[in-house]
Amino acid sequence: MGNPFSDELGVTRCGDREFRWGERTYVMGVINLSPDSFAGDGLGDDLDAALEKARRFVSEGVDIIDVGGESTRPGSTPIPVEEELRRVIPVIELLAREVPVPISVDTYKSEVARRAVSAGARMINDVWGLKFDPKVARVAAEHRLPLILMQNQRDAPFRDFFPELISSLRRSIEIALESGVEWTDIIIDPGIGFGKTVEQNLEIVRRVGEVRRLGRPVLIGPSRKSFIGLVLDLPVEERLEGTAAVVAIGIASGADMVRVHDVREMIRVVRMSDAIVRGRLAAR
């Protein structure tokens, strides 16, 4: 079977790694340092626990680790820059020294992004897609780092859902390019769970391929999210199978990277999905 997603998205360099888009689906593992993570996996100030989790992710085959210090669950309260720095910088410094995969910082604040890059982060994941602090793009441009631009609709409801989602992502791409970010350093994320209804989240998964028509690789982050719980009537700790279904169908729809909490299980889902969708058998 041929690979239906082997188009010209190019190669994105991240630290000493390359993401060769279209060849396979890449896996981003989540390390939450906020005490109020929606997924119930917040590690707080526990450096040893963060390093242990990162090493486990690496042993399971993760491609990149995303470190975040501020909860993005619905209704969460933003934290000051100083507190976010206190949470994430020691962990990024430690992981950058101790694990062999690139570290991403999950932040929408340019000062946090700048300090995180100095600490060793090699990717920036902005959940506001440069709409909160456009200077995040300058940090990525100055250091030639990949930048994830997520569509976030928590500030206002959609009037015309999918066209507005695409328009919002297109504007984020424009802001990044205007700030000097390289085209091949841009990754887009339709923002599953961020201001969308259950029906809209399900539609995103079905229509990932249309998001991909913007010309950049697509990351999806459905892991353990509330729309899965609402569909299946399950609490957050019982959403593994639902997450697996969304990951598999998202890959079939065109996703290039998945952001997950359960790395071992989702890597198995990714490898099986890639074998079917991309005709790619993982090395035995």
Nearest Cα to Cα of residue 25 among 284, 261, 249, 262: 249
Q: Are 9 and 21 in contact (CB under 8 A)?
A: yes
CA–CA separation, 49 and 16 (whole Å): 25
**Active-site residue, from 53, 109, 225, 278:** 225
DSSP string covering 156-203? S--SSHHHHHHHHHHHHHHHHHHTT--GGGEEEE--TTSS--HHHHHH
225 is catalytic: yes
Q: Indicate which residue of 259, 271, 278, 284 is catalytic.
A: 259
Contact predicate 7/116, CB 8 Å: no
Identify the H or E element spanning 233.
none
DSSP state at residue 104: E
DSSP H or E stretch at residue 147: strand 147-150
CA 60 to chain centre: 18
Which residue numbers are catalytic?
225, 259
